[in-house]
Amino acid sequence: MNYYVDKIKESIEFAWKYKFLWVFGFILTVFGGGGGSGGSPNYSFPSGSEDTAKMDEFASDVEDFVLSPLFWVILIAGLCVVFVVSLIGWYLLSVSKGALTEAVKKDRNSQDLSLKSSWRDGQSHALDIMMLDLTGFAINFLVFLPLIVLVIGGIIFPPVFILLCCLVPFYIIYFIGWAITYTIAHRYLVLNNAGAMESIKAGFKLMKERVLNIILAAVVSIVPGCAWAIIALMAVGVPAIILTILGIGMLLVNSVIGVVFLVAALIGILILAGTVNSPYQVYSYAYWTKIIMDLLDDKAPK
């Protein structure tokens, strides 16, 4: 137990020492989810029949907008933007994983670290990590394909759901096993400059051999995780609730202004969440990388 507590302390010190790595923690977080002016609000929402009329008018405006050509233009453009942003986010996420893994490795070897060198290290592994993600997606698709077939079959022939229920424990175990395997695999890939399938095989092998160590490491990490979750909830959750309530109010007053406000609020909350959670992301990533490095080198207690 003391071994894991020491790793937590080392990881906290690591995250505090190399604050420039919080940039990568920010990326991991972001890519991994009307009042008056200058005085007290003096607007009161309508009630009774006025409230019903207002809601009917709002619903009619929404229906007209959805049926208009402009809606489809905006929808297609929005989907294109989402696709491009997703690709960029995936690449940045891969860079961050590679950078943080290399940073822990260099710190262990007493090598100098900087934001520029860490970014360069991350870029050198990004495409390999993305290939690992694609390989993992293909494997998971094949594993879950029978489940999809059974669900469709159950809709047509309900007794099939009995077989589906029997398979649920298997898929739960598989999901947990895959999460552990991938956690090891993408670090193994960076640490050993390995390929996707080699890293997955190494991750699965280590998971089978040292699963109890990994479970114990996860249990010990719950305490700092819960403590940080409370901090993050207060710092991000409360503003998110307030902004959501304001946004809904603005939607009832003016749909265009309300949508613009909610989009701006969402972006602001994402930035706030990324900023608040970035130190914890670096700590957590360092913790698991240190544990996995010791397991790979057979230095962790059995």
The whole-number pLDDT of residue 38 equals: 38
User: Strand locations in 49-161, DSSP E?
Assistant: none
Q: What angle do CA 232, 236, 238 make, to 5 degrees?
A: 115
- In tens, the pLDDT along 158-201 reads 777 777 788 888 889 999 999 999 999 999 999 999 999 999 99
The model's confidence at residue 46, banded by pLDDT at 50, 70 and 90, is very low
**Whether the Cβ atoms of residue 242 and residue 219 lie closer than 8 Å to each other:** no
Lowest mean pLDDT among 24-38, 81-95, 125-139: 24-38
The answer to whether the beta carbons of residues 298 and 43 sit under 8 Å apart is no
Distance CA 9, CA 240 (A): 31
User: DSSP character for 297?
Assistant: T
Lowest mean pLDDT among 44-53, 60-69, 79-88: 44-53
- How confident is the model at residue 197, as a pLDDT? 94
Closest CA to 124 of 88, 149, 95, 153: 95
Instruction: Provide the pLDDT for residue 33.
Output: 43
Q: State the Rg of the chain over Cα.
A: 24
Instruction: Kindly report the pTM of this predicted structure.
Output: 0.79
Q: Indicate the average pLDDT of the chain.
A: 84
User: Residue 42's pLDDT is what?
Assistant: 39
Angle at 178 between CA 158 and CA 139, to 5 degrees: 70
